Amino acid sequence: MSGFALAPQIAQQAETMGGNKVGGTPWQEQNKQILSALKMDRVVTVITISLIQLIAALNILISLIMMVMEKNRDIAVFVSMGARWDQIRRIFIFQSLLIGTVGTAIGLILGYGVSYLVEQYRWISLDAEVYALSYVPFEPRPIDAFWVTGRALLVSFLATLYPARQAAKVLPAEALRYE
């Protein structure tokens, strides 16, 4: 058990040993407002990132739906030449995952690059009299990159399921009828 988790027990032991002369209050209780603000900040960050990913997923979804509509004739030709429906579906799934992967990679590179620059040059300053720090520290963690990447790729995959299913339902005779 870490020292952070032992603070309430140590405060209680100090009160017991000191009697009425010593009062112990754990740091978690003394900084309750700050800790709850940090928790709220984390929740808001997760919600913000989720909304950004939702917008990206909707963009991928709309782009692929438009592509299926534009490529109806090409899909029909592929099917009439012997392509199976699962092959057509895989083409669109692969394309969506490619878009998601490239977008995620660019986002990670830009995010870590900007975080490094903001930390290095301390672009966001704070009033040192009010806060314990004179600037806002930026510390990108690998675990954050891992879960953001995983969620982004999952959202990209989920966004492609409907357009891929629609592409696989194109009937060659209907699509080529007026050509």
144 and 89 fall within a common domain:
yes
Instruction: Inform me whether the pLDDT recorded for 30 exceeds 90.
Output: no
Q: Indicate the number of domains in the chain.
A: 2
Pair 17, 72 in one domain: no
Quick one: DSSP state of residue 126? Answer: -
Question: Do 67 and 130 have their domain in common?
Answer: yes
Q: What is the pLDDT of residue 121?
A: 92
The answer as to whether 51 is a domain residue is no
Whole-number pLDDT of residue 107: 92
Chain segment 48-94, per-residue pLDDT in tens: 988 988 898 898 889 888 988 898 888 888 888 999 989 989 998 89
Torsion angle, CA of 83/88/90/91, rounded to 10 degrees?
A: 110
Q: pTM score > 0.95 for this model?
A: no
Residue 52 included in any domain: no
Specify if 84 maps to a domain: yes
Range of the domain at 178: 59-179
H helices of 19-84, where?
A: 27-30, 32-70, 72-80
Q: Check whether residue 69 and residue 33 sit in a common domain.
A: no
Is residue 76 in some structural domain?
A: yes
Domain co-membership, 42 together with 85: no
Is residue 53 included in any domain, yes or no? no
Is 105 within a domain? yes
Whether residue 156 sits in one domain with residue 125: yes
Residues 83 and 142 in one domain: yes
- Structure token digits, residue 102: 């490239």
Contact 175, 73 (CB under 8 A): yes
